[in-house]
Structures are given as C-alpha cells and as structure tokens.
Chain A
C-alpha cells in the first residue's frame, strides 16, 4: 500500500533562517506531488505541484521554492523565512489509477516562525 511521509512533524524557526521540509511517498511510482499550506482558519492553499522529476509548477509567488530530486521525493525550501510563512504544510500525492482521481495527504509539518 502507498504511504506518504513528512518531516519534521513540527519546526520552530527564527525569521530569516532557511527552511527545508521533506516529503517522500512509498508504494507508487511517478505520482503527481503537491505542497499545500494551511493557515489558521482552515483553508488549503496550493503552493507547488510536480508531475515528474525536476518539473515544478508554482501556484503562488512567494518566499518559498520546491524541488523534486527523485521520483518520490518532494522538498519545500526557503532561503529566508518570514513571519507569514508560519502554518501547517501538507504534502500530497495523486494518481489516476483506474481512471479515477485520488489525492492523499501526508501528516503535515507545523511550522512556527518566531
């Protein structure tokens, strides 16, 4: 079965520090991968998506970047964090196996920028 991992689970970082969040998927190949941010108030904002290695699309211009160095690895980065980067970051993968769309989320990383 497929499993999605995110780490770290929680992170407290000072303003101006760098960021690296990692997401890996097991049990599937060539998935579409996504990064979302969920601020207080529940809404899910799509940040980046990737349909393959090295292929990244950005949904919202911001202080963050994403990379996909391996088929099942997706990384979210920042060179200098802002207070507004605080939030709950969710990685997701999707497939159209069987002709239906399915998207599954990881457990999330709670980022607090101080």
Chain B
C-alpha cells in the first residue's frame, strides 16, 4: 500500500533545541523523498529532499537522514528557532509510468518552537 507514516503528530521544542520528525514507508517503488514546510494559510513549500542512494543530506540547519534498509527517513532541525514553527510534511515520490508520477504525503507534524 502506498503510505507514508509520519510521527509525531505534534512537537514542542525550546529555542536552540533539536527538532526530529520521523517517517516510514513500505513501498519500495518510492524513489525520492522531499520534506515540505507549511505556515498557516499558506501552501506547502519544498524544504529539502533526498534520493535513496544517499544516507544524509544537509542544508543549513536542516538535515535529512535516510535509512534505506529500514525504509525510514527523518528530518532534523538544528538550533530550532521560533520562526521554524510550522507544519512539516514528509513525502515520497513514485513513478507510475512515462511522465506520470505521484507524491504521497505523511499526515504532517505541527512543530512549535518556544522562545
């Protein structure tokens, strides 16, 4: 089944702390894993993404760790800031054939960073 399971549903972190959001999948046809950040009333924005042949990708304070054998990946936000407070979605791409591909989303994590 094409599902991406995301946890936790909500997360509260103190300023300067590390925020960790986890995702797991079953479908081995997934071949690209982006994370999106969404602020209230806005569309999700692409934050960072990783291919399954890479175990880690870092962009600034954001790092994706990927464990292909366990079919798990996670987002780490270092030195979390109040401005990082948002909903975060993990996702997975699968190619359906030709130019047809689809993105499957986790249910989201509401992150609150307290000052």
Chain A residues in contact with chain B, CB under 8 A?
Answer: 32, 34, 42-44, 46, 49, 51-52, 57, 90, 92, 94, 96, 100-108, 110
Contact = CB atoms under 8 A, between A and B. Distances in A.
B100 A51 contact: yes
Contact of B89 (A44, A100, A106, A110): A44
B interface SS class? strand
B45 interface: yes
Contact of A103 (B34, B42, B100): B34
Top 8 nearest A-B pairs by Cβ distance?
Answer: A105-B43, A42-B108, A101-B93, A101-B32, A44-B105, A108-B43, A43-B107, A105-B44
Interface string B88-104: 01000100001111110
A92 B93 CA distance: 14
Nearest to B109: A42
Contact of A105 (B32, B45, B100, B102): B45
Contacts of B51: 100
B80 interface: no
A104 B46 contact: yes
Nearest to B99: A51
A110 to B, nearest CB: 7
B103 A43 contact: no
A32 B93 CA distance: 13
B87 interface: yes
Contacts of B38: 42
Contacts of A105: 36, 43-45
Nearest to B10: A42
B42 to A, nearest CB: 7
Nearest to B94: A101
Nearest to B107: A43
B101 A101 contact: yes
Contacts of A100: 32, 49, 51
Given A96-B101, A101-B32, A42 B44 contact: no
B60 interface: no
A10 to B, nearest CB: 10
